[in-house]
């Protein structure tokens, strides 16, 4: 069995519920509280905004532009409440840096400042802010404006995520997988860490469709996707529909033994579904999976395609060896 040691690692809806409704059903996204970042070099101002929002949001705090920039990159907030006048990096400069970085450019920024003239407001909006609130703050007004912009942000995030979701199964699609494979392969090569990949194919699925019909086939794929997703062990593991009846799992920082142990967990979970497959050529007349596993240890190829090709060869070998099993191999550096 796999374990953690085997693998390295009032009437209006509350904001966290809104986030759950938007993202909770997409690719297994776990509900979380909306995260705000309050940036002001005066701690008393930071505390005032914290008191306004702490009951409904997760509130991060920064007292300098540089500290705020680091937080936006390491723990991205859903919205930033930003003072303009700060000593090391003023609010306009910070906002411009956030908008110039692809990692942070979609984070909405609201300026909260004592400079309420039209020229200052125009300058803030030109820097990329979505709104401008004058000090001293009115808590009810600040709450309302933040709620509006948070809702818009979550809706935008939701639509962006839909572009990476398989419409039938609700797991990640091939486009998302290709991007994650590229990124994780580069990270593994840079850090010298292991990376494993599993290709999974539903055994004799054409015969299943011929026997039960394509609607039953779609239902089968949806049940399999849910079961596979529930079987993953860590938030960083990626399950995607690769195409047709094939799925793929990407396992960062996972050695071959850990990947094979996970395959056994997934095999048992699928067997537990006991989905009838009377047209299967196997002895067990239920839906089964064949799996091919590839692992790169100590840093893999930078594009991940060699890893994918090796997993495909191992999947072919698993089918040739009788199906309903997993075979794996390590990628040998050229």
Closest listed residue to residue 263, CA positions, set 242, 279, 249:
249
Closest listed residue to residue 22, CA positions, set 145, 140, 179, 165:
165
CB 173 within 8 A of CB 240: yes
> Which tokens hold the place of 166?
């398989």
Q: Which position among 18, 245, 246, 306 bears the catalytic label?
A: 245
Residue 245 annotated to the active site: yes
Catalytic site residues?
245
């Amino acid at each position: 069995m796999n374990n953690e040691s085997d693998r390295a690692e009032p009437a209006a809806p509350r904001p966290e519920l809104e986030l759950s409704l938007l993202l909770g059903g997409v690719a297994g996204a776990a509900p979380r509280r909306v995260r705000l970042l309050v940036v002001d070099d005066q701690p008393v101002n930071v505390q005032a905004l914290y008191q306004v929002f702490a009951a409904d949001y997760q509130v991060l705090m920064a007292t300098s532009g540089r500290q705020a920039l680091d937080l936006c990159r390491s723990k991205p907030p859903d919205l930033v409440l930003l003072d303009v006048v700060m000593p090391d990096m003023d609010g306009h400069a910070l906002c411009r840096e956030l908008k110039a970085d692809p990692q942070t450019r979609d984070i909405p920024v609201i300026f909260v400042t004592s400079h309420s003239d039209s020229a200052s407001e125009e300058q803030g909006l030109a820097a990329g802010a979505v709104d401008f609130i004058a000090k001293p703050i009115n808590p009810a007004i600040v709450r309302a404006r933040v709620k509006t912009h948070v809702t818009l942000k979550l809706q935008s995030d939701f639509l962006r995520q839909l572009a990476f979701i398989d419409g039938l199964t609700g797991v990640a699609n091939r486009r998302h997988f290709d991007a994650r494979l590229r990124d994780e392969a580069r990270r593994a090569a840079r850090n010298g860490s292991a990376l494993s990949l599993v290709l999974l194919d539903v055994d004799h699925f054409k015969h299943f469709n011929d026997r039960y019909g394509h609607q039953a086939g779609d239902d089968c794929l949806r049940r399999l996707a849910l079961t596979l997703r529930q079987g993953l062990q860590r938030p960083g593991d990626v399950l995607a529909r690769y195409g047709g009846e094939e799925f793929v799992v990407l396992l960062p920082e996972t050695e071959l033994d850990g990947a094979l142990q996970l395959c056994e967990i997934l095999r048992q979970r699928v067997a537990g579904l006991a989905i009838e497959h009377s047209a299967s050529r196997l002895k067990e007349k239920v839906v089964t999976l064949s799996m091919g596993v590839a692992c790169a240890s100590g840093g893999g190829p930078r594009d991940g395609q060699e890893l994918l090709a090796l997993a495909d060869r191992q999947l072919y070998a698993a089918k040739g060896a009788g199906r309903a099993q997993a075979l794996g191999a390590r990628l040998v550096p050229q």
